[in-house]
Amino acid sequence: MAAVRLNAYLARAGVSSRRGADELIRAGRVTVNGQAAGLATFVAARDRVAVDGRPVSLEPLAYVLLHKPAGVVTTARDTHGRPTVVELVGHAVRVVPVGRLDTDTTGALLLTNDGQLAHRLAHPRYGVEKLYEAEVEGVPDAEDLRRLREGVDLDDGRTAPAGARLVRSGRAGALLELSLHEGRKHQVKRMCAAVGHPVRRLHRRGYAGIELGGLGPGEWRELTTGEVEALRRAATRRAPERTARQR
């Protein structure tokens, strides 16, 4: 094992989140090789780590795909007592979500205890693809789709180019498929509202090329070795540079 920062080690060991680990370290409850540790401490393979005098060790890496249902929050704990995605995944090791989905949004969500990979997947530098299906009010025309594809001006800047196609339409509205390489807060909802077609229901069908397949709402599965390798490749490719017009 290459040397890692102590808070990352504690998170990987299932003790707490990185933020929670920082609090444990500040409180003087963590030792490395019998000595009180600091926030800047790094841990190597042969180091002995303890919390409150109890030894801790690394858990095996785990990678999970969850079909998130509506009404479930994308956190490990919720102060309002709402169900969380972590509670849905009955895994032997502690896994946490990669990024977020709104409470009313359904679909593909990755959870893992591989903190380094999770950080890279969520970083805008790598432009990991997110594939959405959005039921919207009204029927977008060709100009609306062009704006979605080329970039929409939002209050935090113009969005990057996206894939957008009309799947079906009817009197009640339309279904859009959107492929994004950004991860701004409420981005799909804001984009659709900006072109005059507010979202009624939002579903994420896939993440980084991994799709739900036959997983039903609330169901989860382990990722295959090939899928994990694909995620690692996705987390090394930088997103294309924007033109001046798109910034």
Plot region of 152 (φ>0 → left; ψ -120 to 50 → alpha; else → beta): beta
pLDDT band at residue 210 using 50, 70 and 90 as cut-offs: very high
Residues of CATH 3.10.290.10 domain(s) within the chain? Answer: 4-56
Q: How far apart are CA 198 and CA 137, in angstroms?
A: 6
CA–chain centroid gap for 41, Å, is 27
> Tell me, what's the pLDDT at 241?
52
The set of residues, in sequence order, having a beta carbon less than 8 Å from that of 175 and lying 6+ positions away, is: 133, 134, 135, 136, 166, 167, 168, 169
List strands edge to edge, sheet with 49-51: 35-36, 30-32, 49-51, 54-56
> Tell me, what's the pLDDT at 154?
95
Residues of CATH 3.30.70.580 domain(s) within the chain? Answer: 63-124+210-234
Here the tokens at position 106 are 């359904």
Phi, psi at residue 139, to the nearest 5°?
Answer: -120, 115
- Has residue 16 got a pLDDT over 90? no
Average pLDDT, the chain: 91
What is the mean pLDDT of the segment spanning 161-183? 95
The set of residues, in sequence order, having a beta carbon less than 8 Å from that of 234 and lying 6+ positions away, is: 121, 126, 128, 129, 208, 209
Q: How far apart are CA 15 and CA 240, in angstroms?
A: 37
Picking from 124, 121, 94, the residue whose alpha carbon sits closest to that of residue 20 is 94
> Tell me, what's the pLDDT at 240?
53
In 166-224, where does DSSP find H-type helix?
Answer: 187-194
Residues of CATH 3.30.70.1560 domain(s) within the chain? Answer: 129-207
Q: How far apart are CA 193 and CA 136, in angstroms?
A: 9
Catalytic annotation present for 153? no
> Tell me, what's the pLDDT at 238?
65
pLDDT band at residue 147 using 50, 70 and 90 as cut-offs: very high
Marked catalytic residue, from 102, 141, 144, 153: 102
pLDDT digits (tens, 9 = 90+) for 72-129: 999 878 888 899 999 999 888 889 899 899 999 999 999 998 888 888 898 878 889 9
> Are 56 and 16 a contacting pair, CB within 8 Å?
no
pLDDT band at residue 247 using 50, 70 and 90 as cut-offs: very low
What is the mean pLDDT of the segment spanning 128-152? 97
Under CATH, what is the fold of the domain 129-207? Alpha-Beta Plaits (3.30.70)
CA–chain centroid gap for 126, Å, is 13
Query: Could you tell me what percent of the chain has a pLDDT over 70?
Result: 96
pLDDT digits (tens, 9 = 90+) for 37-65: 999 999 998 999 999 999 998 888 999 99
Confidence (pTM): 0.81
> Are 15 and 113 a contacting pair, CB within 8 Å?
no
Under CATH, what is the fold of the domain 4-56? 3.10.290
Q: Does domain 63-124+210-234 have CATH number 3.40.30.10?
A: no
> Tell me, what's the pLDDT at 116?
81
pLDDT band at residue 186 using 50, 70 and 90 as cut-offs: very high
Q: Which of these ranges, 13-22, 34-43, 183-192, 222-231, has the smallest mean pLDDT?
A: 13-22
What is the mean pLDDT of the segment spanning 190-194? 97
> Tell me, what's the pLDDT at 245?
45
Here the tokens at position 117 are 């990979």
Query: Could you tell me what percent of the chain has a pLDDT over 90?
Result: 71
- Has residue 211 got a pLDDT over 80? yes
* 198-232 residues labelled b (16+ CB within 10 A) or e (exposed): ebeebbbbbbbebebeeeeeeebeebeeebbeebe
